Amino acid sequence: MATTTNSHSEHDRMEHARATRYWVVWVALLAGTVATFLLSRVHLPSPFNLLVALFIACTKSALVVLFFMHLWDHGGANRLVFATSIVFVTLLIGLVVLDNATRFTLTNPGRGPTLQMEPPGPDILTPRGPPEPATRPDVPPVAEPGRGAGIPAPEPAR
């Protein structure tokens, strides 16, 4: 079979590999854990805390997958299977979060953040930004200078 030569050299590589590589990877993983913990105490600004933590987690995972799970030694279909699962996880989480992130104002629970897109009007080719505060239903109108302080804005007619 054509696979036997390939499998013999893979097998020999595993046979001759020393155990030191596992200890080295272990130290690297511990260093990554310490780094994640310390960087979290630094309180980086908003998207970066998540991105840095995920980057370190991905690096640690790569080390575990490549060396502890021997994906470095055994190539081929195993790598494809693993990579495919990662692609689908990324699609799943990415698109679902994007769905939530691009909802219009007031459609997210808890007045959650949105990308502040105005729904397209009849002329959908004209780009629009967010509406002026005066015309938005959820933001109270700014008090005009002539008004007395503390007088509440009139209730909209029902």
Binding stretches for other proteins (CB under 8 A): 1, 3-4, 7-8, 11, 14-15, 17, 19, 22-23, 25-26, 29-30, 33, 36-37, 40, 49, 53-54, 56-57, 60-61, 64-65, 67-70, 74, 77-78, 81-82, 84-86, 88-89, 92-93, 96-97, 100-101, 108-110, 112-113
Residue placing its CB nearer to other proteins in the complex, 92 or 117: 92
Q: Is the dihedral of CA 46, 47, 50, 51 positive or negative?
A: negative
Residue placing its CB nearer to other proteins in the complex, 37 or 104: 37
Three-state secondary-structure class, residue 142: coil
Cβ atoms of 101 and 115 within 8 Å: the answer is yes
144: enclosing H helix or E strand: none
The number of beta carbons lying within 10 Å of the beta carbon of residue 42 is: 8
Amino acid at 82: F
Residue placing its CB nearer to other proteins in the complex, 89 or 139: 89
Q: Supply the minimum distance, in Å, between the C-beta of residue 134 and other proteins.
A: 28
Q: Supply the minimum distance, in Å, between the C-beta of residue 90 and other proteins.
A: 9
Token couple for 41:
């105490």
